[in-house]
Structure 1
Amino acid sequence: MVDPLVGAHSYDEPADTTASGPLDRLTSWHSDWRGLRVAVLGLGMTGFAAADTLAELGSDVLVVAGRDPDDRARLLEVLGVPLVTADLGSADLKTAPDELIAHRPELIIVSPGFHPDHVLLTWAASLGIPVWGDIELAWRLRDKVGAPAPWILVTGTNGKTTTVQLTATMLAAAGHRVAPCGNIGVPVLDAIRDPQGWDVLVVELSSYQLHHLPQSGPGQLAPWSSVCLNIADDHLDWHGSAAAYRAAKAKVYDNTAVACVYNKADLATMRMVEDAEVQDGARAIGFGLGVPGPSDLGIVDGILCDRAFLEDRFDTAIELCTVADLATAGLAAPHIVANVLAAAALARSFDVAPGAIRTALETFHLDAHRIEVVATSAGVSWVDDSKATNPHAADASLAAYDSVVWLVGGLLKGVDIDALVAKHVGRLRGAVVIGVERNEVLASFRRHAPALRVFEIDSDDTGEVMPTAVSLAAALAEAGDVVLLAPAAASMDQFASYAERGAKFAAAVHDYLGGGSDDDSSSTPGV
């Protein structure tokens, strides 16, 4: 039935966000979205998915993006969705573009990259226009192909993608139709529109996406289970403070139905669970590398054990796999073992049997650029962990090795690297500093390891960064060392992405070693 209130208010009367507002009636794919004036900010994967979805629903959509026309822009033409391009990062941008003002949006869908105080969001707030993220939109529309699939949510400063992939692999091994989606690279809006439907979605959520989630009302998520893997300062330039970043991450537990999984080694995640408003019956499930207590997953004598999802959890445990099994699969680095335990907790909350978990781990491989051994030569291992884009991730990577030549640097995103350098100087043979924000890194080495051999690459020729870094690292390394690319920083200063940074590192390593590698495989995962 057509909802007569949708689109009824005028531009001069800001959108009503109370319980009786028209947007609160839009809680299903089968609600009437026709004619709703929506502005979508951004034309990345999530922005395009939002525009495509809303066009399919019959909404009146306008996309505002800061990039030049590309393939997605041409697809918008096919969909009949107008696009406005503007320099959205310009300091001269004081208000919304004329086309956006003329559109008189009743709702704005914002892509994750837009800073909370962006001029367009400030403009929307001044007019009372509701702002949703793509996750809230997907939650409201999740019933397109029948009964909505449960959502399992994963966030954390590091390890999100690996844990999502592990969880999805375990669920698939148990025979479930499962979609890993969200920040992992597949928009949730694409997943919920898949005509085959799913038994369960495993959704990776960034702090940006969590920031925009409501904590009450019809747009609030109700996940089956949820986890915050860990928390450390990151994206402070976006959130404005560590407290705001942590508050965003904590939203992952809101309204959870079955299991709130937390990291026993990171008490902040336990505090998040304690403070969360959850559904009756939801349990707190801990994971860690030590001996598990009741309602935990952990390790006893080299065996990964579940003491949470069994009746007699006070006196017995269920064996999931062994650390030796994980080593065979290239998953034995401590932070990866922690990810395995977290994923197993999420899978067990969905009644996945231990045998299916073991089967999944036998076939699972880490993605490229995650502690990936790209070559071994003369007793030196060359490891690509370009995915270590913040100090917390680099900390876990460095801790996996005894003697390291460290390739470090890039965009620090407002995060202090000093404590990381101080913690690991004892395991460093030397360091090679790359990136545009080198001064902070070099200053930390001067403070904490003035005698350490440290090379700085100050070339503006990005094509020469990795060949030079590899050559300098080779001069530092000795037999038994690991040359480790774990930059503790984002890559966009000199590379298109962390993947390009890692690929250029691997290519430079193979070019340098020539035929001298003891291991010709460039895709051996793990350590």
Structure 2
Amino acid sequence: MPSEFTGKHVTVAGLGVSGVPAAKVLHGLGAHVTVVNDGDDERARAQAAELEALGVTVRLGDGDTLPEGTELIVTAPGWKPTKPLFTAAGQAGVPVWGDVELAWRLRGLDGRKPAPWLAVTGTNGKTTTVQMLASILKAAGLRTAAVGNIGVSLLDAVTGEQEYDVLAVELSSYQLHWAPSLRAHSAAVLNLAPDHLDWHGSMEAYAADKGRIYEGNQVACVYNVDATDKPSTEDLVRGADVEEGCRAIGFTLGTPGPSQLGVVEGLLVDRAFVEDRQKNAQELAEVSDVDPPAPHNIANALAAAGLARAFGVSAAAVRDGLRAFTPDAHRIAHVADVDGVAYVDDSKATNTHATEASLAAYESIVWIAGGLAKGATFDELVAGAAKRLRGAVLIGADRALIREALARHAPEVPVVDLDRTDTGAMLQAVQEARRLARPGDTVLLAPACASMDMFTNYNQRGDAFAQAVRELGA
């Protein structure tokens, strides 16, 4: 069946998890597709061969030159807006979409009613919140999936044979930057903290891209009442152009006001989606239904509940969905207790904001930290956590930045600085942490840094930590 893409010359920027599916979908819709890619390694050549067998043109090792005749670019989300390819596109008047924008525009192309999107972004907690949301929606008997930056590909979700009632969509700031026409049923920004500033150019630009998720919302803009950063998530709601009648719904770890969800005496409660919200509240779940019940994870659960309630889900389904949810590995995962000391893997804490939340969950901590700082500074993080620190063990390329912050703001905390960046450093780090710890303490891997200086990814880093802990108890 002819589509708006039939005969159109489309350039797909980047191979990989988004580029290959985009190229296949566009080719199937009758577009003349050319894929450009910076790399020319073995994996890229294998992907190129697969696409070329379908009739797609692939140019490896040249991701900066705009192919002649290009009418549209569909880019991988990680490609920076400053790339020469996009400069040339701007000069030629060629629009640039991301894979999320493409998926949004392809909804309902086969004649089916498009599934509404409940969308989530934020510096930290996106994946957990979307998975909680999907669990709640499933508990309500709805056909759904966790999609976007995790789980099922968005393109697969909107073009595949499976029909959905609603989608739980995780969106990164990169994806939102390239998704100008996205209009969600309801959306949440969990938090905002400096991250990926090398890509966005400034905190203001980063926040603006996050805020795009609220544009055109139909029912609810869910925001973090407790956020103190500026701009705050509430500021982003105030600046959004939404549909008439769309409501601002806050979530807080304190007692909720009207049009908010919050916590009262160990209960998650809703004062937003109830009759007479000035006087009434609906119990949704117990704090103990959230796994793990760390403060930032309770906030994730409240955000997920807010989106689900905006979609009309019952309180019982919120409770059942939270009880059924199991968090992914490397997210405040309790590995073992050894000699009265708890060992916790939060390798996913790859920036200071995530690590701040992790450190706040425990009273007495031996902190294992370090890696690639990505331009971050650590003074505020260390100053806020100083009273909780029994000791610190530092690893990785940028550990000196954390060591210097500890010297300034927690000079009494003993620090072990491991001058090595090989993967075996984790075993030594855990051994040093054991030496510093006392019964009742928590040895916490919450690096506040990316992992690629020593490990393939945060998963491998967390696995190395868990293996080292198991060797302690052997």
Bin of the TM-score, shorter chain as denominator length? over 0.9
Q: State the distance in 2 between where 1:108 and 1:483 align.
A: 47
Alignment of 1:445-460 (within 5 A): 445-460=406-421
Query: Is the 8 Å Cα contact of residues 396 and 420 (structure 2) preserved in structure 1?
Result: no
1:513, 1:80 → 2: CA distance? 56
Q: Flag structure 2 segments of 5+ consecutive residues without an equivalent.
A: none
On the 8 A contact 2:292/2:332 being kept in 1, the answer is no
Aligned twin of 2:272: 308
Give the superposition deviation at 1:185: 4.3
Q: CA RMSD in A?
A: 1.6
Select between 146-155 and 451-460 the one with higher mean Cα deviation: 451-460
Query: Equivalent residue for 2:57?
Result: 82
Return closer, same or farther for 1:73/1:455 CA change in 2, 3 Å cut-off.
Answer: farther
Question: In 1, distance between residues paired with 2:427 and 2:50?
Answer: 39
Aligned match of 2:156: 190
What amino acid is the match of 2:402?
Answer: V
Residue 121 of structure 1 corresponds to 86
TM-score norm. by structure 2 comes to 0.95
Which residue number in structure 1 is paired with residue 318 of structure 2?
357
In 1, Cα distance between equivalents of 2:239 and 2:402: 36
Deviation at 1:289, TM superposition (A): 0.9
Specify the alignment match of 2:281 in structure 1.
317
- Corresponding residue number in structure 2 for 1:496: 456
Distance in 1 (alpha carbons) for counterparts of 2:462 and 2:281: 40
Structure 1 contact 374–382 (Cα < 8 Å) conserved: yes
2:141 maps to which residue? 175
Q: CA deviation at 1:411?
A: 1.6
What do the CA deviations read for 1:265-304 (whole angstroms, capped 9, x no partner)?
Answer: 0151111111110000101111111111111111112111
Secondary structure, counterpart of 2:376 in structure 1: coil
Q: Give the match's secondary structure for 1:116.
A: coil
Separation in 2, partners of 1:481, 1:87? 52
Whole-angstrom CA distance in 1 between matches of 2:306 and 2:425: 41
| Cα pair 2:121 2:189 within 8 Å, conserved | yes
Summarize deviations over 1:211-247 as a string: whole Å, max 9, x none: 1222xxxxx1221000000111111111111111111
Matched, 1:132 2:132: no
1:301 to 1:451, Cα distance in 2 relative to 1, 3 A:
closer
Q: Which aligned segments of 4 or more residues in structure 1 are displaced greater than 4 angstroms?
A: none
Structure 1: tracts of 5 or more residues without a match:
3-30, 89-94, 215-219, 515-527
* C-alpha deviation, 1:451, in angstroms: 3.0
Preserved CA contact (<8 Å) 2:36 2:62 = no
SS in structure 1 of the partner of residue 419 of structure 2: coil
Q: Which residue of 1 aligns with 2:75?
A: 110
Residues 282-332 of structure 1, C-alpha deviation per residue, up to 9 Å, x if partnerless? 011111111111111111121111111112211111111112333xxx331
Match of 1:341 in 2: 302
> Percent identity over the alignment?
53
Superposition deviation, residue 87 in structure 1: 6.7
2:31 is matched with which residue?
A: 59
Q: Which amino acid aligns with 2:468?
A: A
What does 1:165-314 correspond to in 2, within 5 Å? 165-214=131-180, 220-266=181-227, 268-314=232-278
Q: 1:394 aligns with which of 355, 367, 373?
A: 355
1:350 is aligned with what amino acid?
A: F
Cα distance in 2 for residues equivalent to 1:347 and 1:193: 24
Q: SS where residue 212 of structure 2 aligns?
A: helix
SS of equivalent residue, structure 1 residue 45? coil
Which residue of 35, 47, 66 corresponds with 1:72?
47
Determine if the alignment matches structure 1 residue 156 to structure 2 residue 122: yes
Q: Deviations over 1:337-383 (max 9, x none)?
A: 11111100100111111111111122111110000011111111111
Matching residue of 1:15: none
Determine the C-alpha separation between the residues in 1 that align with 2:117 and 2:370.
Answer: 36
2:113 is the counterpart of 1:147: yes
Question: Corresponding residue for 1:36?
Answer: 8
Q: After alignment, is 335-344 or 190-199 more displaced?
A: 190-199
CA separation in 2, counterparts of 1:410 and 1:180?
30
State whether structure 2 residue 371 is matched by structure 1 residue 410. Answer: yes
Measure, in 1, the Cα distance between the counterparts of 2:197 and 2:16: 22
